[in-house]
């Protein structure tokens, strides 16, 4: 029914009823009695309405209690209030759900978010901001951000207010990119992005280019030097010319090895070049590695091979390169007359390939860094033996792609053992069904 009618009809009816009752009393008992009845009825009505008003005001003070029952127009008022309260409860639940979802999303965000008021007091921040800036939301709420982040660069940036360019900040051993975004009512959002990892990669890239340029410059300088001599002295005796040509060829080979190793590394690191596993016949592969090692050693070392391990799956080409690097290192860093053992065994945690030499060995402080690009214990010895400084970096990447681990044990002057442990899942269990492909 129309709410207006619902309100007015009972009120008019009640008034009419009182007037009719008073009229009847006045008719039978005189005007004064009629007026007295009308007054009493009106008073009773006012007291009743006041009673409802009182209950309503009590309820408004404690809206969580049950709504009072009403009579007449009050029923409608209480019903509508009840509906409003239910709607309000629903809205509040919905808002709370949204807030919880928003907080969850914010806490999963890798970037830090800090909300500050117009005078830079912290209002809210997410866990990433806590990590990046060393804040604690509960503890620091209401504190001035410039008192919490005490970096002069950061404070200058906030004071100058030139937010078009982000700020790069070194804080708590992190490299942070800081953006400030003003929003409603002069509030500001501070966003921090952790660029430590990308900075590290950029640093590695710069180092790699610097190292590679340096490695290439040395042989180039030698070749240029001989070319200048050849130009300045066209009548050099054939013997000297021949020795110059041999030295130039040697430097050319060195550059070629370096470029080839750099290309291999780039390919191994590239995501566009996934490992294509194939059956690897280890006996045959290691036989070839042994032949290469013997050619490199030219009879200066005793090289043995023991291959009792199983065939595995992997990339024949990559494994040949990795094993080849380990064995050629053993040859290059073992003085003439030394022994080099290549061992392929089933192993308890998975099959193992070990290269053991009794060469010059490595001091313990170098071992952790050996797989870094261009890291060498003794630069001149590495160059003398045609090393590029990239061999073990290549080994590391090949093993990474095969899920294998490299272990290095070494005693200076006694020798070294490089052990590769493959995961047990790499073993081929049914050799008869596989079409083994070998290098
Ligand atoms: P390089 O081309 O210089 O040999 P690698 O990456 O293959 O580069 O090896 C890095 C360094 O590790 C070498 O320069 C050398 O000092 C050391 N090294 C590697 N293998 C051996 C080994 N079997 N014995 C002694 N030192 C080794």
Binding site membership of 333 for ligand 1 (Cβ less than 6 Å): yes
303 in ligand 1 pocket by Cβ < 6 Å? no
121 pairs with which residues across the strands?
144
Q: How many CB atoms lie within 10 A of CB 348?
A: 8
List the domains of the chain with CATH numbers.
3-99 (no CATH), 109-194 (3.30.450.20), 200-269 (1.10.287.130), 278-435 (3.30.565.10)
Q: Looking at residue 183, what is its pLDDT?
A: 85
- Distance (Å) from CA 376 to ligand 1 centroid: 6
* Closest approach atom of ligand 1 to CA 393: 6
SS3 string, the chain, reads CCHHHHHHHHHHHHHHHHHHHHHHHHHHHCHHHHHHHHHHHHHHHHHHHHHHHHHHHHHHHCCCCCCCCCCCHHHHHHHHHHHHHHHHHHHHHHHHHHHHHHHHHHHHCCCEEEEECCCCEEEEECHHHHHHHCCCHHHHCCCEHHHHCCCHHHHHHHHHCCCCCCEEEEECCEEEEEEEEEECCCEEEEEEEECHHHHHHHHHHHHHHHHHHHHHHHHHHHHHHHHHHHHHCCCCCHHHHHHHHHHHHHHHHHHHHHHHHHHHHHHHHCCCCCCCCEEECHHHHHHHHHHHHHHHHCCCCEEEEEECCCCEEECHHHHHHHHHHHHHHHHHCCCCCCEEEEEEECCCCCCEEEEEECCCCCCHHHHCCCCCCCCCCCHHHHHHCCCCCCHHHHHHHHHHHCCCEEEEEEECCCEEEEEEECCHHHECCCHHHCCCECC
Mutation pick for ligand 1 pocket among 261, 340, 391 (CB with most ligand atoms within 8 Å): 391
Per-residue confidence (pLDDT) for residue 437, from 0 to 100: 46
Which of 134, 180, 136 lies closest to 158, judged by CA? 180
Find out whether the beta carbon of 338 lies less than 6 Å from any atom of ligand 1: no
Task: Dig out the tokens for 6 from the structure.
Answer: 């619902």
User: What distance in angstroms lies between residue 368's CA and the mean position of ligand 1's atoms?
Assistant: 12
Instruction: Confirm or reject: Cβ of 415 under 6 Å from ligand 1.
Output: no
pLDDT of amino acid 68: 75
Mutate to test the pocket of ligand 1, among 255, 354, 357, 362 (most ligand atoms within 8 A of CB): 362
> In angstroms, rounded to a whole number, what is the distance separating the alpha carbons of residues 360 and 144?
61
State which of 211, 324, 329, 384 you would mutate to test the pocket of ligand 1, scoring each by most atoms of that ligand within 8 A of its C-beta: 329
Angstrom distance (rounded) from CA 39 to CA 19: 10
- Residue indicated by tokens 């990590």: 131
Choose the residue to mutate in 372, 376, 417 for probing ligand 1, maximizing ligand atoms within 8 Å of C-beta. 376
Q: How far apart are CA 341 and CA 303, in angstroms?
A: 6
What does R_g of the chain's alpha carbons equal in angstroms? 44
379 CA closest ligand 1 atom index: 14
Query: pLDDT at position 167, please?
Result: 95
Tens-digit pLDDT string for the chain (439 aa):
576 776 788 778 888 988 899 999 999 988 899 999 889 988 998 898 898 889 888 888 887 777 777 767 777 788 888 888 889 999 999 999 999 999 899 989 999 999 999 889 999 999 999 999 999 999 999 999 999 998 999 999 988 888 999 999 999 889 999 999 988 778 899 999 999 999 998 998 899 899 999 989 989 999 999 999 999 998 889 899 999 999 999 999 999 999 999 999 988 988 677 888 899 999 999 999 999 999 999 999 999 999 999 999 999 999 999 999 999 999 999 999 999 999 999 988 899 999 999 999 999 999 999 999 999 998 877 777 778 999 999 999 999 999 999 999 999 999 999 999 999 999 998 654 445 444 4
Q: Parallel, antiparallel, or unpaired for β 339-345 and 302-307?
A: parallel
CB-neighbour burial class of residue 434 (10 A; exposed 0-12, middle 13-18, buried 19+): middle
Closest CA to 357 of 400, 308, 413: 413
Q: Which two tokens stand for residue 149?
A: 């982040």
Asked whether the beta carbons of 387 and 332 are under 8 A apart, the reply is yes
């Amino acid at each position: 029914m129309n709410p207006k009618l619902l309100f007015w009809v009972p009120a008019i009816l009640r008034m009419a009823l009182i007037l009719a009752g008073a009229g009847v009393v006045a008719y039978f008992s005189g005007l004064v009695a009629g007026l007295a009845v009308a007054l009493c009825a009106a008073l009773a009505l006012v007291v009743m309405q006041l009673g409802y008003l009182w209950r309503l005001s009590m309820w408004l003070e404690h809206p969580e209690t049950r709504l009072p029952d009403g009579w007449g127009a009050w029923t409608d008022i209480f019903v509508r209030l009840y509906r409003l309260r239910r709607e309000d409860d629903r809205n509040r639940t919905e808002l709370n759900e949204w807030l919880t979802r928003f907080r969850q999303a914010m806490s999963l965000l890798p970037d830090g978010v800090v909300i500050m008021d117009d005078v830079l007091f912290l209002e809210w921040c997410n866990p990433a901001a806590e990590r990046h800036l060393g804040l604690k939301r509960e503890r620091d709420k209401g504190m001035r951000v410039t008192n919490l982040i005490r970096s002069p660069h950061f404070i200058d940036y906030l004071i100058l207010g030139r937010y078009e360019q982000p700020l790069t900040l070194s804080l708590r051993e992190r490299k942070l990119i800081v953006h400030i975004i003003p929003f409603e009512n002069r509030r500001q959002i501070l966003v921090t992005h952790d660029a430590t990892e990308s900075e590290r990669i950029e640093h590695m890239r710069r180092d790699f280019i610097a190292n590679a340029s340096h490695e290439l410059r040395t042989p180039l300088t030698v070749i240029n030097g001989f070319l200048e001599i050849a130009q300045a002295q066209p009548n050099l005796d054939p013997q000297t010319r021949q020795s110059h040509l041999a030295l130039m060829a040697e430097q050319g080979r060195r550059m070629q090895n370096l470029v080839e190793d750099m290309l291999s590394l780039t390919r191994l690191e590239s995501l566009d070049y996934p490992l294509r596993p194939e059956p690897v016949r280890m006996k045959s592969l290691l036989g070839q590695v042994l032949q290469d090692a013997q050619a490199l050693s030219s009879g200066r070392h005793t090289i043995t091979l023991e291959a009792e391990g199983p065939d595995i799956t992997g990339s024949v080409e990559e494994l040949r390169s990795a094993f080849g690097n380990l064995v050629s290192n053993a040859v290059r860093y073992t003085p003439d007359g030394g022994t080099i053992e290549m061992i392929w065994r089933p192993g308890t945690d998975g099959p193992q390939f070990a290269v053991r030499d009794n060469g010059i060995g490595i001091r313990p402080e170098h071992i952790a860094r050996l797989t870094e690009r261009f890291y060498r214990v003794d630069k001149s010895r590495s160059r003398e033996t045609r090393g590029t400084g990239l061999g073990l970096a290549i080994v590391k990447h090949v093993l990474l792609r095969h899920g294998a681990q490299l272990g290095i044990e070494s005693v200076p002057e006694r020798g070294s053992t490089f052990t590769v442990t493959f995961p047990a899942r790499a073993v081929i269990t049914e050799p008869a069904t596989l079409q083994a492909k070998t290098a």
